[in-house]
Amino acid sequence: MIFDDDTRIREACAKCLTDPSDVDAYDDLMNGTRIIGRSFLRLYNIMPSMTTRMVYSSYSGGGIISFDRTISTFGQHGKTLDGVIARYRLKDVKKLNLAIMYDDSNSMTAWWRNKNMGATVNESQSPQSYAKVACLALMEGLGKSADISLWTFGSRAEGPYNASANMYRQLISRNGSGGTRLDLALQSLTDQGWHRKRGSKVIIVLTDGVPEVGRSVYAEDVLVNMKAFELIRNIQYNHARFLYIQLHTDDSRRFKKSGGYTMTEFGAAIEKMGGLVIDVDTANKISDSLFKGLQQVLKRR
């Protein structure tokens, strides 16, 4: 983390979860994540993709004269000043579309960890608080330069939410909703036609486990694994890039096998499919990894 301490921001996030009407906590959260987002944006110099094209027009004192086109115009219409053709390169900024898929499974929460892992975890120290701050920092950092859609997934998928559909409040209010049904979120994205949008398309997944139903039934979880892979392939076929961030917050989740895969094995399979996988071993590096990963994935062709 390049900041001295983000404890206050995570505590504000936890307060907003407990009391959505706490205006002071919400202001602290948004102001803090805005500073983080803009700082990382400058640090990694994240810029939208651009395409360059050659433009030809009548010469008006700018650009370079295109002798071939000028001679051709003179031959067709006679020698006139209007027949002198100039050429210059024009850069078009490609629209950046981001689909953020936030893991709202129970294991991301403090209450589940306190109940099932024999630990004492404050809400501000839970994986979901770190992940929410990272997502909000990305949303605030990019601001109006990207079209951002949010999906959340637990035992069900919800979304898409955007800036005009209460996206921030929807993210902050999540507090665990069962399993890890990434496949349902990807299916919803496909059904909405997001993968066919024009411009650059990046899907960002933040999760602390392998896609699963949540009942520890091997056959069910294998089907969910396979469905997630199938949907990722179909989405990538439409030139969408895939950034998969795995939160290795503890060994009990890191080495747990759900269906046919551990987290390491599932990530390796996504890498073979062309996705960028980043393992985050320290929770307070999530924001850094998110921005660094976005920078790297945008450079891919």
User: Which amino acid, one-letter code, is at 287?
Assistant: S
On whether residue 1 sits in a domain, the answer given is: no
pLDDT digits (tens, 9 = 90+) for 258-273: 999 999 999 999 999 9
Strands (E), the chain: 50-58, 64-65, 85-93, 96-103, 147-153, 157-161, 200-207, 241-247, 276-280
Are 86 and 185 part of one and the same domain?
A: no
> For residues 174 and 128, is the Cβ–Cβ distance under 8 A?
yes
Tally of structural domains, the chain? 2
On whether residue 138 sits in a domain, the answer given is: yes
Tell me which residue has tokens 């404890």: 7
Nearest Cα neighbor of 64 from 92, 80, 85 is 85
Are 291 and 263 part of one and the same domain?
A: yes
Highest mean pLDDT among 12-26, 79-93, 108-122, 271-285: 12-26
User: Which amino acid, one-letter code, is at 94?
Assistant: K
Are 242 and 226 part of one and the same domain?
A: yes
Q: Residue 4: what pLDDT?
A: 46
Q: Residue 301: what pLDDT?
A: 66
Are 19 and 146 part of one and the same domain?
A: yes
Cα Rg for the chain, rounded, in angstroms? Answer: 24
Q: Residue 77: what pLDDT?
A: 81
Are 144 and 283 part of one and the same domain?
A: yes
Are 198 and 76 part of one and the same domain?
A: no
On whether residue 195 sits in a domain, the answer given is: yes
Task: Residue 230: give its domain's CATH number.
Answer: 3.40.50.410
On whether residue 102 sits in a domain, the answer given is: yes
Q: Report d(CA 154, CA 175) in Å as an integer.
A: 10
Indicate if the pLDDT at residue 130 is higher than 80. Answer: yes
**Long-range contacts, stretch 191-199, CB < 8 angstroms, 24+ apart:** 192/160, 194/97, 194/99, 194/149, 194/160, 195/234, 195/235, 195/238, 195/240, 196/238, 197/95, 197/97, 197/147, 198/95, 199/49, 199/94, 199/95, 199/96, 199/97, 199/147
On whether residue 267 sits in a domain, the answer given is: yes
Are 174 and 29 part of one and the same domain?
A: yes
Q: What mean pLDDT comes out for the span 134-156?
A: 92
Nearest Cα neighbor of 174 from 11, 9, 16, 6 is 16
> For residues 214 and 105, is the Cβ–Cβ distance under 8 A?
yes
Are 203 and 242 part of one and the same domain?
A: yes
Q: Residue 218: what pLDDT?
A: 94
On whether residue 159 sits in a domain, the answer given is: yes
Are 126 and 260 part of one and the same domain?
A: yes
User: Among 26-40, 104-118, 191-205, 274-288, where is mean pLDDT lowest?
Assistant: 274-288
- Global pTM reads 0.84
Buried/exposed 42-60: b ≥16 CB within 10 Å, e otherwise: eebebeeeeeeeeeeeebe
Q: Name 217's Cβ contacts closer than 8 Å, sequence gap at least 6.
A: none
| CA separation, residue 196 to residues 89, 116, 242, 244, 301 (Å) | 28, 41, 14, 20, 17
pLDDT digits (tens, 9 = 90+) for 147-182: 999 999 999 999 999 988 789 999 999 999 999 999
Domain residue limits at 83: 51-93
Nearest Cα neighbor of 212 from 182, 234, 190 is 182
For residues 283, 216, 110 and 263, what is the CA-based torsion angle, rounded to 10 degrees? 0
User: Which amino acid, one-letter code, is at 298?
Assistant: L
Q: Which residue has the higher pLDDT, 248 or 11?
A: 11
Q: Report d(CA 22, CA 131) in Å as an integer.
A: 20
Are 85 and 102 part of one and the same domain?
A: no
On whether residue 176 sits in a domain, the answer given is: yes
Q: What mean pLDDT comes out for the span 37-52?
A: 77
Q: Which two tokens stand for residue 292?
A: 């660094």
Indicate if the pLDDT at residue 116 is higher than 90. Answer: no
Are 63 and 145 part of one and the same domain?
A: no
Q: Report d(CA 68, CA 56) in Å as an integer.
A: 11
Nearest Cα neighbor of 51 from 16, 103, 19, 93 is 93
Are 100 and 129 part of one and the same domain?
A: yes
For the chain, the straight-line distance linking the first and the last C-alpha, in angstroms and rounded, comes to 29
On whether residue 2 sits in a domain, the answer given is: no
> For residues 206 and 291, is the Cβ–Cβ distance under 8 A?
no
